[in-house]
Structure 1
């Protein structure tokens, strides 16, 4: 029952993923107990709080006396934090405040912004490509996760 619940939570994490969430499942927090003639298993996957992400996925699985799944219940409390929108395109904005905000957001996102920056880099001018390269080097140099 514990293995089934861990698999359930793993799949649920994938189905509730936008590429930025980082879930963790604590094996010691997965509980299975005899209830009547069956087994009830309960556990939780927690989002690691990074960049404003927070929340969890909790699941309860009920198995009959033969080990067949009778029912499932899942609760989700998932809040997305900062996500890239247009920050890379604002790195060379004429307004210094806008430039600084874009730079700060990308530094906070850190390595999680990699696929976004790679994608944006393909679409922009050479000057903006250099600005994207510079911010990426800073993210790597400062080991920003």
Structure 2
């Protein structure tokens, strides 16, 4: 009987050991699942943060590009305005020079009749038209 008791004791201890091993495996499996879940949560948080950083970088780049475009447009408008002012000053100067030329011609010439005066004015206006058309080109 002693051998049978020993055998029974051995089987009982083996079953207890197997039960402990199963419990330990369940604990290890639960811990593994917990680690996997934590890793998943952490990776989702990292992905979310990465997306937010990406969106912020894109938004900042877009804003910077829009601001640069506005600056370029503003500078172009200012340059156009400056060129218009310069052209107007040049045109005023040309008109003043032409007026002086007309006045000089009138003063130099002795006009004896209204027809002579009218002919001189017509001749000068043709010269002005010719000069303006040359400057336009």
More strand by share: 1
Q: Which has the higher contact order (CA 8 A, sep 6+)?
A: 1
Decide: shared fold, TM above 0.5: no
For normalisation by structure 2, the TM-score amounts to 0.21
Greater C-alpha radius of gyration:
2
For normalisation by structure 1, the TM-score amounts to 0.20
